[in-house]
Structure 1
Amino acid sequence: MIFTLTACGDKNADSATPEKEKVVFTVPYEKDPGTIDVAKTTEYYGLPLNVFDRLVESVTVGPGESKLVPGLAETWSVSEDGLVYTFNLRKGAKFHNGDEVKAEDVYFTFDRMLNPETEGLNTDFFDMIQGAQARMNGEADTTTGIKIVDDYTIEITLEAPFGPFVAGLATPAGSVYCKKAVEAAGDQFGVDPELTVGSGPFKLTDWVVNDKIVLDTFVDYWGGRAQYDELIYKIVPDAETARMLFENGEIDVFDCDMARSQIPYFEENETWKNNIVSGPRVGVYYICLNESIAPLDNVTVRKALQMGIDRENILKQMYYGKGVLVNGIIPPGLYGYNKDLPEITYDPEKAKSLLAEAGFPDGFDMEITQVSDNASTLKINEIVQSDLAKIGVKLTITQLDSSTFFGIRKTGKLPSYFNNWSADYNDPDNFVYTFFDKENAIGRSFNYVNDAVQSKLDAARVMTNPEERIALYQEIEKTIVQDDAAWIPLFELDHLFVVQPYVKNYTVAWNGWSDQSFYNIVIEK
Structure 2
Amino acid sequence: MTRKLNLLLATGLTSLMLLSPAFAENMLRVSYPEDPKSADAQMTTDFYTLPLNIFDRLVESETTGPGQSALVPGLAERWDVSDDGLTYTFHLRKDVKFHNGAVLTADDVVYTFDRMLNPATKALNTDILTFIAGAEERLDGKADSVSGLKALDDQTVQITLTKPYAAFLALLAAPGASIYNRAFTEAAGDQFGLTPETTNGTGPFILRDYTLNDSEMLEANDDYWRGRPKLDRLLIRVVSDPDTLRMLFESDEIDVFDMDFAPTQTPYFYGADQWKDHIVSGPRVGIYYYNINQLKKPFDDPRVRKAFQMSIDRQTILDKNFYGKGKLEDGVMPRGLRCYAPAEPIAYDPVKAKELLTEAGYPDGVEINLQQVSSWSSRWSDMNQIIQAQVAEAGFKAKIITTDEAAYLAARKAGDSDAYTQVWSADFNDPDNFFYTFFSETGSKTRGYNNNDPEVFAAIEKARGMTDPAERCKLYQDLTARIVDTDAAWVPLFSLDHSFVVQPRVKHFIVPWNGWSDMSYYNVEVE
TM range (shorter): over 0.9
The separation in 2 between residues aligned to 1:418 and 1:156, in whole angstroms, is 38
Show structure 1 runs of 5+ residues with no match: 1-14
Question: Given the alignment, which residue of 93, 105, 110 partners 1:107?
Answer: 110
Match of 2:345 among 335, 343, 346: 343
Decide which of 191, 203, 207 is 1:204's aligned counterpart. Answer: 207
Equivalent residue, structure 2, for 1:239: 242
Alpha-carbon deviation of 1:319?
A: 1.1
Is the Cα–Cα contact under 8 Å of residues 252 and 503 in structure 1 kept in the other structure?
yes
Question: Residue 220 of structure 1 aligns with which residue?
Answer: 223
Q: How much does 1:403 deviate? A: 2.9
Deviations 1:187-223 (A, max 9, x none): 1101121011111001111111111111111111111
Off by >3 Å, runs of 4+ in structure 1: 15-22
Q: Distance in 2 between matches of 1:174 and 1:191?
A: 18
- Measured after TM superposition, the shift of residue 130 of structure 1 is 0.8
Matched, 1:359 2:364: no
Question: Could you tell me which residue of structure 1 aligns to residue 123 of structure 2?
Answer: 120
- Aligned-residue offset at 1:407: 2.9
Deviates more, 1:260-269 or 1:220-229: 260-269
Secondary structure of the 1:498 match is strand
Structure 1, residues 418-455: CA drift from partner, whole Å, max 9, x if none? 00111111111111111111111111111111111111
User: How far does the alpha carbon of each residue in 1:280-339 deviate from its partner, in whole angstroms, 9 at most, with x for none?
Assistant: 001111000111111111111000000000001111111111111111001111111122
% identical aligned pairs: 50
CA contact (8 A) 1:116 1:138 kept: yes
Q: Which amino acid aligns with 1:266?
A: F
Give me the TM-score of the superposition, normalised by structure 2: 0.95
- What is the DSSP-based 3-state SS (H/G/I as helix, E as strand, rest coil) of the residue aligned with 2:448? coil
Distance 1:400 1:275 in 2: 42
More divergent stretch after superposition (347-356 vs 511-520): 511-520
Residue identity matched to 1:369: Q
User: Aligned AA for 2:101?
Assistant: G
Match of 2:299 in 1: 296
**1:417 counterpart = 2:420:** yes
Alignment partner for residue 407 of structure 2, among 384, 401, 404? 404
How far apart are residue 405 of structure 1 and its match?
A: 2.3
| 2:430 corresponds to | 427
Aligned-pair distance for 1:414?
1.5
The one-letter code of the counterpart of 1:489 is: P
Partner of 2:446: 443
- Cα distance in 2 for partners of 1:169, 1:370 equals 34
Deviation, structure 1 residue 123: 1.1
1:8 aligns with: none
Report the CA distance between 1:16 and its aligned residue: 3.8
Instruction: Give 2:10's aligned residue.
Output: none
| Matching residue within 81, 90, 104 for 1:87 | 90
Residue type at the aligned position of 2:344: P
Q: Distance in 1 between matches of 2:273 and 2:363?
A: 54
Partner of 1:160: 163
1:456 to 447, 456, 459: 459
* Equivalent pair of 1:56/1:73 in contact (CA under 8 Å): yes
- Match in the other structure for 2:16: none
Contact 1:505 1:522 survives alignment (8 Å): yes
Task: Give the Cα separation in 1 of the matches to 2:169 and 2:341.
Answer: 23
**C-alpha distance in 1, partners of 2:29/2:414?**
42
Give 1:24 deviation, angstroms: 1.2
Partners of 1:45 and 1:78 in 2: CA distance? 28
Q: Name the counterpart of 2:334.
A: 331
| Partner AA of 1:152 in structure 2 | Q
Q: Distance in 2 between matches of 1:405 and 1:176?
A: 35
Moved more, 466-475 or 105-114: 466-475
Q: Which amino acid aligns with 2:373?
A: V
SS where residue 394 of structure 1 aligns?
A: strand
The 1-side partners of 2:524 and 2:319 are apart by 32
Amino acid aligned to 1:414: S
Give the distance between the partners of 2:485 and 2:314, measured in 1 at CA: 16
- 1:494-516: per-residue Cα shift (whole Å, max 9, x none)? 01000111011111001242111
Correspondence 1:173-212 to 2 at 5 A: 173-212=176-215
- Cα distance in 2 for partners of 1:407, 1:209 equals 32
491, 514, 519: which is aligned to 1:511? 514
In the alignment, does 2:48 pair up with 1:72?
no
Tell me the distance in 2 between the aligned counterparts of 1:332 and 1:246: 30
Aligned AA for 2:194? V
What's the counterpart of residue 32 of structure 1? 35
Contact 1:322 1:493 (C-alpha < 8 Å) held by counterparts: yes
Cα separation, 1, equivalents of 2:302 and 2:308: 10
Aligned to 1:501: 504
RMSD value over aligned CA atoms? 1.3
Secondary structure at the counterpart of residue 367 of structure 1 = strand
Q: Do structure 1's residue 471 and structure 2's residue 465 form an aligned pair?
A: no
Q: Deviations over 1:55-94 (max 9, x none)?
A: 0100001001100111100111101111110000000111
Aligned with residue 305 of structure 1, among 277, 302, 308: 308
2:147 aligned with 1:138, yes or no? no
Secondary structure (helix, strand or coil) at the match of 1:517 reads coil
**CA shift digits 1:106-155 (9 cap, x unpaired):** 00001111111112211111100111111111111110001100001000
The range that moved more, 364-373 or 380-389, is 364-373
CA distance in 2, matches of 1:118, 1:408: 28
CA distance in 1, matches of 2:319, 2:143: 54
Q: Secondary structure at the match of 2:34?
A: coil
Alpha-carbon separation, structure 2, partners of 1:173 and 1:139: 23
Q: Secondary structure at the match of 1:368?
A: strand
Matched, 1:481 2:484: yes
Provide the TM-score with structure 1 as the length reference. 0.95
Shift of 1:104: 0.5
Offset of 1:17 from its aligned partner? Answer: 5.6
Find the counterpart in structure 2 of residue 271 from structure 1: 274
Report the secondary structure of 2:260's partner residue.
helix
Q: Does 1:258 align with 2:266?
A: no
Secondary structure of the 2:208 match is strand
Per the alignment, in what secondary structure is the counterpart of residue 355 of structure 1?
helix
> Is the contact between residue 427 and residue 515 of structure 2 (CA under 8 Å) also seen in structure 1?
no
Number of residues paired by the alignment?
509
1:229 equivalent to 2:262? Answer no
